[in-house]
Amino acid sequence: MKGRVVVITGGASGIGEACAELFHNEGAQVVVVDKDALQTSHQDLVLEGDVGDEKTVQAHVNVILKNYGRIDSLITCAGFSTGTSVTKTSLDEWNAVLQTNLTGTFLWARETAIAMSKTGGGTIVMIGSQLAFAGGKSNAAYLASKGAIVALAQTMAIDCAVDRIRVNALIPGAIETPLLSRSFARADDPDAARVRSISRHPLGRLGQPSEMARAILFLASPASSFTTGSCLRADGGWLAG
C-alpha cells in the first residue's frame, strides 16, 4: 500500500482505528474521517464531520483530492447501534442509525467512486456484520443497515467494474470495540451477554480490531485483484455454526 491514499470513515476507534494504524505501517497516506477524530501518528489528514451529510462528504472529498489528487481506497467503518427491537424503535432512532451506517456508506462510496473513475480505479471495503445473515435480537435498525450494506456492496461492484473499481464487504463477528462494549452495557446482565456472544463463536473468543484490519488490507490491496462483489467472513465461525 506504499504511497496509496486510503480514506477510513469511523477511523478514530475500533476497527477503523486499527485500519489506520495498519495501513500507515504499510506505507499508505491515511485520511481519517470521524465526528470525534483526533490527530495521531497513524493519520496524515483528519477530517471531522457527519458521514451521513451529503454536503459535508462532498466537501471532504474535495479536500482530499486537493491534498492528494486521488483516492485509492475507501474503508467505511463509521457506524453505531441503539439496541432496540422493531416495536420499540422510534423513527428518530431508525433514521439516525441508517443515516450513519447506510447513508454514510452510500455517500462516501458514491463520491469516492466518482473520483476513482477519473484516476484509473481503486478499492472500496464496506463493513457489514454476521448479524446481517444470522439475525439478532433487539437491534433492528443496525441489522437492517448492515443487510443493506451487503446488498449495496454487491450492486456497486457490478456498477463500478467498468471503471476498475472493486467493491467488497467484510463480515465481522463480534469484535472487541467500543461499539460492542456499549452493546453489552445495554443488557440486563452485561457479563452474561458477553459470555453468550463468545459462545456463538466456534473459536471460543471475540475478535480483535487488528484481525479485521488485516482482512480489510487484503480486500483493499492488489492481493485481492480478482475479488469484487464478495463478502469476506471474519466471524470466528459464527455463521458456520
Residues forming the active site? 142
Q: Is the separation of the CB atoms in 219 and 172 below 8 Å?
A: no
Separation CA 177–CA 182 (nearest Å): 9
Report CA-CA distances (Å) from 39 to 31, 34, 52, 69.
10, 11, 22, 21
Which secondary structure element, helix H or strand E, spans residue 98, and what is its range?
helix 91-98
- Strand pairing category for 29-33 and 165-172: unpaired
| Sign (positive or negative) of CA dihedral 48, 121, 106, 59 | positive
